[in-house]
Structure 1
């Protein structure tokens, strides 16, 4: 990826809107993708407990912002 604000980061952020963690996977960050996906889907699965769903929504938003602002250290 070219850096923050690049077209690749925009695509990654859009991917995260539909599937949390997919944007990080597109950027090649497998561990971050797994963590975001597990926390988000786990929290959404426990929606009836309310608090996990709120945490999942915050992590989902965090995943989108993380993918949009990511810049590689290369």
Structure 2
């Protein structure tokens, strides 16, 4: 991905709206994608309790914002 707010980040954020973690997967961040997906779907699966769905919703929103604000710091600068 290029920079924050680039077209790739916008696509990743839109992907996260429909499937939590998919945006991170599009960006190549597999571990982050798995963590977001497991926490969100785990929270939504426990819908009959009060706290887990709220935590799932907050993490879902966090995954969208994380994908939109991601900047790839690979340790070197392109010229």
| TM-score (structure 1 length as normaliser) | 0.99
Aligned to 2:55: 55
Match of 1:32 in 2: 32
Unpaired runs of 5+ residues, structure 1, are none
CA RMSD of aligned residues (A): 0.4
* Counterpart residue number, 1:44: 44
Runs of 4+ in 1 over 2 A off after TM superposition: none
SS of the residue 2:48 aligns to: helix
- Report Cα offsets for 1:47-71 as digits up to 9, x if no partner: 1101000000000000000000000
Residue-by-residue CA offset, 1:10-57 (whole Å, 9 max, x unaligned): 000000000000000000000000000000000000011010000000
Q: Which runs of 5+ in 2 are unaligned?
A: 75-79
- Provide the C-alpha distance between the structure 2 equivalents of 1:37 and 1:71, rounded to a whole number of angstroms: 20
Structure 2 length as normaliser, TM-score? Answer: 0.92
Q: Tell me which protein shows more helix as a share of its residues.
A: 1
